[in-house]
Each structure stands twice: as structure tokens, then as C-alpha cells.
Amino acid sequence: MHYSDTLENHIDKKETVLWSILLFSNQGQESLKEVLKKTDQILPPIKASSIYSVKGNPNKIEHIHDLRSLNSYSGLCLVLLSECGEAPEKIMTYFQSFESEFKKEAKRRSLSLNLLMYDDLTLMTPEVTLPHPDFHHRPEFVVPAAEIWGDKTHPILEKTINQLAKDFRAVEWGEFYAQSETVLAF
């Protein structure tokens, strides 16, 4: 599907959406459940990868209190498949709004919601680039995505997600944390 097909043709049709949650919080699975409850309103999951524990980038310090916890700067990541009739721009606006709301809470937390693929749509606008431009470079996206949509072909690279995941076999990027069912029961 190309953007020239126009989104009007897809408004009534549900598209398969691949997206991710990357959460750095001392609340762990409870915060992940909270995020999933909220995002369920627009992107109810039909499949979810395992949850992985990932290390944060200590060079990306956003707050003075981050300096205290560089040794334990870890988070959780999860990749999900959903069906949605919303336009990618609307999904991104929702993600950005929710991330801002989430970060305003009293507890210091960091949340990143990423729209990775929207069926076969290729799109580059100021608001959205699809597929996600760093998808194939980030093991925290590719490896979990291979669990749930491994046979999907990347619309630009023309490789399956399973093929892309092979590049990260020998790379240390994270470790299994829990099955997704532990946070999907809400």
C-alpha cells in the first residue's frame, strides 16, 4: 500500500499495525499494565511479544536524577500487533499526547511509544515516517517483532522481520523478562 492510495480508502478498513512500548520506570510491570490499559482504547492488541528487559543509554540523560541511577538504568520493551482503522497521523498524535501525560506524573518515568509499521504503507511526512526509519537498526524492535510477525516483509528493505532479526543473534541488547500475558490481563 502506498500513501498515494490515500487514507480515505483505508478509513473504513482495519489495517495491521506493529507498534512498541519502551518503558523506563521503577514500577515495572504495573506501569506497563497502565500503559496498555490506556493504549487499548485506540490499539487493542491482537498479538504481543515477550517482554524484554533492556538497558538504557546513559549518554542520554534528560534529568539530573538520572545521574543517580546510571547503573540500574533499565527498562521494559514489548512489541504489539493491533488492527486499527485510524490514520497513522492520528495514532502518532495519540502516542505523543499520552507520552507527555505519562511523563508529567509525580514519579520519574520515561515512556516511548513507537509506530513501527502500518501494514505495507510507506510514508514520509513531517509527522510520521513508515516503516519506522530505525526499525531495522534496533534489536528491541526487530527481535520482539519477529516473535509475532516474523514472516512480514519490510516494505522497503524487502526482507522478512525474521531475516532482519538474524542480524541481532550475537548482539547483547536485552534479555527475556516475562511473557506478555502477565500484563495483558487488565
Helices 88-104 and 29-39 cross at an angle (nearest 10°) of 140
112 bridge partner residues: 22
Q: What is the rounded CA–CA span in Å between residue 16 and residue 118? A: 6
Question: In CATH, what number is assigned to the domain containing residue 22?
Answer: 3.30.70.560
122 bridge partner residues: 2
pLDDT at residue 77 in the model: 95
- Give 96's pLDDT tier (boundaries 50, 70, 90): very high
What's the structural domain count of the chain? 1
- Measured on CA atoms in the order 12, 16, 21, 22, is the torsion positive or negative? negative
Q: What is the rounded CA–CA span in Å between residue 80 and residue 149? A: 9
Provide the 8-state DSSP code for 14.
P
For Cα atoms 75, 121, 82, give the angle at the middle one, nearest 5 degrees: 50
pTM: 0.84
Place of cell 510491570: 29
- Domain extent for 26: 3-184
pLDDT at residue 18 in the model: 98
The residue that leads in pLDDT, 137 or 68, is: 137
Statement: residue 74 has pLDDT above 70 = yes
Statement: residue 125 has pLDDT above 80 = yes
pLDDT at residue 68 in the model: 52
- Which residues fall within 8 angstroms of residue 16, CB to CB, at 6 or more apart? 81, 82, 83, 117, 118, 119, 149
pLDDT at residue 73 in the model: 57
Q: Round the average pLDDT of the chain to a whole number and report it.
A: 85
Statement: residue 25 has pLDDT above 80 = no
Amino acid code (one letter) for 38: K
